[in-house]
Amino acid sequence: MKVYNLYFNGQLTPASDGKVFDAINPSNGEVFAKVASASLIDMQSAINSAREQFDNGEWSKLSVQQRGEYLKKISQLIRDNAFELARLECADVGKTIKHANLIDVPTAAETFDFFAGVEKWLSSKELDIPAPVRSLIEREPIGVIAAVIPWNYPMIMTAWKMAPALIAGNTVVFKPSSKACASVMRLAELIETIGLPKGVINIVPSADHQTASELVSNPMVDKISFTGGTETGRQVMQMASINIKRMTLELGGKSPNIVFADSDIDAAVGGAMSAIFMNQGQMCTSGSRLLLDEKIYDVFMAKLVEKTKALRIGIAEDYATDFGPLVTCEHRDSVYKFIQKGVSEGAKILCGGKIPTGADFDKGFYLEPTILGDVRNDMFVAQEEAFGPVLCVISFSSEEEAVKLANDTKYGLAASVWTKDEEKAKRIARQIKCGTVWVNTYGGFYNEAPFGGYKQSGFGRELGMDGLYEYTQTKHICIDKTPGGTPLVSGWF
């Protein structure tokens, strides 16, 4: 059986205590690989490696263009091994093979390529100051970056965090989730072949809580970039506060998907399904609250339920599968309990809501795509994140009510608005308190555009210029240009 080792200080190595954890295929419950589980000593060694490279190595001294050449090599490695990486993502996470092939792996490659070419964003800028000075703004790397990602999008999250951190001149200690990281560990094996300076990238998964905590609290780490649940995000903030570390947090969501009567109904139905059922609903941006104009409620729901019932549930590796398993048995069971909680509050199951049975499903972690009607926005299921394929449908009667419902949540990550009236869409988008609003679409992520949340969905941004600058320090250099070389400060005393 394949064993994936840790990668730090430029080498692939087993865990110092020999521990591993299983990589389990959620389609059939079988162990398909084992992954080294970093010990506390391993994590400290990885951090030391990153620190030594940043403080005394060559990486931060290379030009942006030179660092970009390494990013291009990583991008090409991903493209050259795309099918293998997609199959690993499929086997480890349970996302459908067409999803992994068409979205996740190409997106990761494109992100490394994009940030390889952002030299202009990191170049020195001169300010126009009404004084006899030359004022320069420099963007410098922060230092050692601790990047922590969840299990739902391993390849994409790796690229989103690594690429901007590296091009800015930082070194990275990267901790993928022990629930699903086989694709990332295979990428580590590939990265080991390109001659990257030792300590620039360090990839250390661990199933041990103390080891993970060390990455966040260690004083040699300068910044935390964390994507995960809101409750874990709070704990990360507390640990990072001891050393006043820089932070980027991308946390939970309960995103509203607002559909008006003047929308293209068929397009909105398809968009609503993608918003909640892609990756089996295991997305922080999941459009889990469908806010539906009461004028089209019956027509829309009839179409939505019919199309949802027609989704083909099956093993993730089958190209004919529309809807695969959830990542683990425990997670599947927690989402199932979430559905039952909704029913106990008065919600009505319009379709799905069950764990499928039969020979095709008994060994995997399957759950039917579920739609709940008669949901009130004050219900537990409308306020808390299921992180699974559970859609809560809430009707509204006016634009004002739709906006109020959309904002009545502790989260603020994303939203969608469906209407043919573009002015109305822009008006509503400006009122919704979240980081991204899609109009007549869902889930458009672009390397050029920033992504992140409001409220308890976190702070800071991924991607775009804003995301790049999350990994830089801003320095102001002020050069006196007073005629004669005697500024006022020289003669003050």
State if pTM tops 0.85: yes
Among residues 170, 113, 168, which one has the least CA distance to residue 146? 170
> Quick one: residue 32, left, alpha or beta (phi over 0 = left, psi -120 to 50 = alpha)?
alpha
Instruction: Report how far residue 417's alpha carbon sits from residue 442's, in angstroms, rounded to the nearest whole number.
Output: 9
At residue 322 the predicted structure's pLDDT band, cuts being 50, 70 and 90, is very high
Across the range 369-375, mean pLDDT stands at 98
The pLDDT tens digits of the residues spanning 293-310 come to 999 999 999 999 999 999
Two tokens, residue 161:
């965090």
Among residues 377, 407, 417, which one has the least CA distance to residue 257? 417
Query: Three-state DSSP class for 100?
Result: helix
Longest C-alpha distance within the chain, in Å? 89
Instruction: Report how far residue 113's alpha carbon sits from residue 88's, in angstroms, rounded to the nearest whole number.
Output: 22
Instruction: Give the CATH H-level superfamily of domain 3-251+457-477.
Output: Aldehyde Dehydrogenase; Chain A, domain 1 (3.40.605.10)
Strands of 436-439's sheet, edge to edge?
Answer: 348-351, 370-373, 390-396, 289-293, 256-259, 414-418, 436-439
What's the pLDDT at 110?
A: 98
At residue 185 the predicted structure's pLDDT band, cuts being 50, 70 and 90, is very high
What's the pLDDT at 55?
A: 98
Two tokens, residue 246:
């820089």
For residue 128, CA distances in Å to 132, 359, 492 come to 10, 71, 25
Instruction: Report how far residue 448's alpha carbon sits from residue 408's, in angstroms, rounded to the nearest whole number.
Output: 30
Across the range 114-125, mean pLDDT stands at 97
What's the pLDDT at 7?
A: 98
One-letter amino acid at 182 equals: A
What's the pLDDT at 448?
A: 98
What's the pLDDT at 478?
A: 97
One-letter amino acid at 213 equals: S
What's the pLDDT at 103?
A: 97
Across the range 445-449, mean pLDDT stands at 98
The pLDDT tens digits of the residues spanning 260-284 come to 999 999 999 999 999 999 999 999 9
The pLDDT tens digits of the residues spanning 122-156 come to 999 999 999 999 999 999 999 999 999 999 999 99
What's the pLDDT at 455?
A: 98
pLDDT averaged over every residue in the chain: 97
Across the range 408-418, mean pLDDT stands at 98
Would you tell me how many other CB atoms lie within 10 Å of the CB of residue 430?
9
Across the range 88-100, mean pLDDT stands at 97
What's the pLDDT at 33?
A: 98
Burial of 243 per CB tally in 10 Å (0-12, 13-18, 19+):
middle
Q: How many residues does the chain have?
A: 493
Q: Which residues are registered as beta bridge partners of 417?
A: 258, 439
What's the pLDDT at 221?
A: 98
Would you tell me how many other CB atoms lie within 10 Å of the CB of residue 36?
25
DSSP 349-361: EEE--S---STTT
Does domain 256-439 bear CATH number 3.40.309.10? Answer: yes
What's the pLDDT at 79?
A: 98
What's the pLDDT at 77?
A: 98
Task: Report DSSP state, residue 101.
Answer: I
Two tokens, residue 434:
């979240």
What's the pLDDT at 334?
A: 98
Across the range 17-27, mean pLDDT stands at 98
Two tokens, residue 186:
């295979």
Catalytic residues: 250, 284
How far is Cα of residue 326 from the mean position of the Cα atoms in its chain? Answer: 17
At residue 406 the predicted structure's pLDDT band, cuts being 50, 70 and 90, is very high
- With a pLDDT cut of 70, the percent of the chain lying above it is 100
Query: Three-state DSSP class for 29?
Result: coil
What's the pLDDT at 341?
A: 98
How far is Cα of residue 460 from the mean position of the Cα atoms in its chain? Answer: 12
Query: Three-state DSSP class for 304?
Result: helix
Instruction: Report how far residue 66's alpha carbon sits from residue 17's, in angstroms, rounded to the nearest whole number.
Output: 37
Q: At what angle do helices 64-80 and 82-93 cross, to 10 degrees?
A: 70
What's the pLDDT at 151?
A: 97
Kindly list the domain boundaries of the chain, sorted by start residue: 3-251+457-477, 256-439
What's the pLDDT at 51?
A: 98
Would you tell me how many other CB atoms lie within 10 Å of the CB of residue 295?
14
- Beta strands in 337-471, from DSSP E residues, in sequence order: 348-351, 370-373, 390-396, 411-412, 414-418, 436-439, 454-455, 458-459
Task: Match 């992954």 to its residue by tokens.
Answer: 35
What's the pLDDT at 59?
A: 98
Q: What share of the chain is helix, strand, coil (3-state, %, to 5)?
A: 40, 20, 35
Instruction: Report how far residue 170's alpha carbon sits from residue 347's, in angstroms, rounded to the nearest whole number.
Output: 49
DSSP 456-479: TTEES-BSHHHHHHTTEEEEEEEE
Burial of 318 per CB tally in 10 Å (0-12, 13-18, 19+):
middle
